[in-house]
Amino acid sequence: MKFLIIPALLAATVLTSLEGTILTGPTEVPVVNLPMALRQSNYTCCPRHPFNGSCVHCSLQMLLQWQNQPALAAWWKSQYKGGENYSELCSRLDSAGITYCATIGKNDIAFLEWSIKTRRGCMAGVGTTKNGMGPTHMIILAHLDSEKAGILDNNDIKTIHWYPRDKFLAWWKKSGSWALTPLYHPTAPLVP
């Protein structure tokens, strides 16, 4: 009897040790570490307004790329450009059969934290118009921890922009607290 118990206990110990190593290993920073080749610059719908383009669509394409949906990202780019609001985007996602999760107007920081914890990242609306309506721009929240937030801006895809967590969250809340992510599987983390 003891012979059967010891190997089972040993196996459980090894599995627990491996599990702990996997779950508590070094964290990739930023969590959404999209390779440069997969980043999408904001494409314009009007040459006179170089940044009046497709920030929502670019952000969605990058998240689809990150979540291993390159064909879907390419299809989305071929279909949509120009400005987009929350209800139009949700309607288009529903029509395309794209599974997603979203929040708007609820200051749902738990949603942002969940999107980073699951390594999906999320689109986040930032900026407000002169009349206080927002957001005016869509970025990707690529990292969020207890101290800082990292964003990937489709107007400047070469770098992750870092903000103090509280300042980013205040900016996002003031902008209407819109966030959305597709629900596919992100790439595996880098192995150190």
What are the pLDDT tens digits along the chain (192 aa)? Answer: 333 333 433 333 333 333 443 444 447 999 999 999 999 998 765 455 455 568 999 999 999 999 999 999 999 999 998 888 999 999 999 999 999 999 999 999 999 999 999 999 999 999 887 776 678 899 999 999 999 999 999 999 999 999 999 999 999 999 999 999 999 999 777 766
User: What is the C-alpha to C-alpha distance for residues 102 and 178, in angstroms, rounded to an integer?
Assistant: 8
Q: In this structure, what DSSP letter does residue 28 have?
A: P
The C-alpha atoms of residue 109 and residue 183 are separated, in whole angstroms, by: 18
In one-letter notation, the amino acid at residue 126 is V
pTM above 0.75, yes or no: yes
Rg, the chain, Cα only: 20
The rounded distance, in Å, linking the Cα atoms of 19 and 16 is: 5
What spatial distance separates the first Cα and last Cα of the chain, rounded to whole Å? 41
Domains of the chain: 31-182 (3.90.70.10)
Q: Structure tokens of 43?
A: 């494409």
CA separation for the pair 177, 1 (Å, rounded): 59
